[in-house]
Amino acid sequence: MNCPFCRFEDSRVIDSRPSDEGSSIRRRRECTQCGSRFSTSETAVLSIIKRSGATEPFSREKVINGVRKACQNRPVDDDDLALLAMRVEEALRSTGQAEIEAQEVGMAILPPLRELDEVAYLRYASVYRNFSSLEDFEGEIALLRALPIEKSEIESESQVASPQLK
């Protein structure tokens, strides 16, 4: 690692700590020539293979922007979208693959979006899965009704995390 102050090519690691929910490592370094200290961040690169065959690094911001229109006029705020993007990234990283098809990113968005807001889920799924008829919507709505999200489980998990005072 080159020193950002004197450009010397050698530095030593003084301290390493996980950061950003464990998906990156923050390292404190010291230049062996000038003695200046600086921080670096290491993150394993997750590449997305686009339909064209080109690759680009995964971007939480792109996930948020892709879902934002589906969440328009819904009770979903920026913090909810940031959490959704984080969950999508965690799901993709948990596959153990360094390169992921763009199609898989879209599929990874669907479960957390459904938990967040079923109307936004239906909007996103209709575009993502290219719904072309009323029957496509009816089929997806039937699936939503047949496999309801257990709201009581989600609520009980949040109550365990932050018990209410009585």
pLDDT in tens, 33-91: 999 999 998 888 899 999 999 999 999 999 999 999 999 999 999 999 999 999 999 99
For residues 155 and 23, the model is more confident at: 23
Q: From CA 143, how far away is CA 125, in angstroms rounded?
A: 12
Q: Residue 122: which residues within 8 A CB-CB, separation 6 or more?
A: 137, 140, 141, 144
What is the value of pTM for the model shown? 0.68
Query: If pLDDT is split at 50, 70 and 90, which confidence band does 164 have?
Result: very low
* pLDDT score at 8: 95
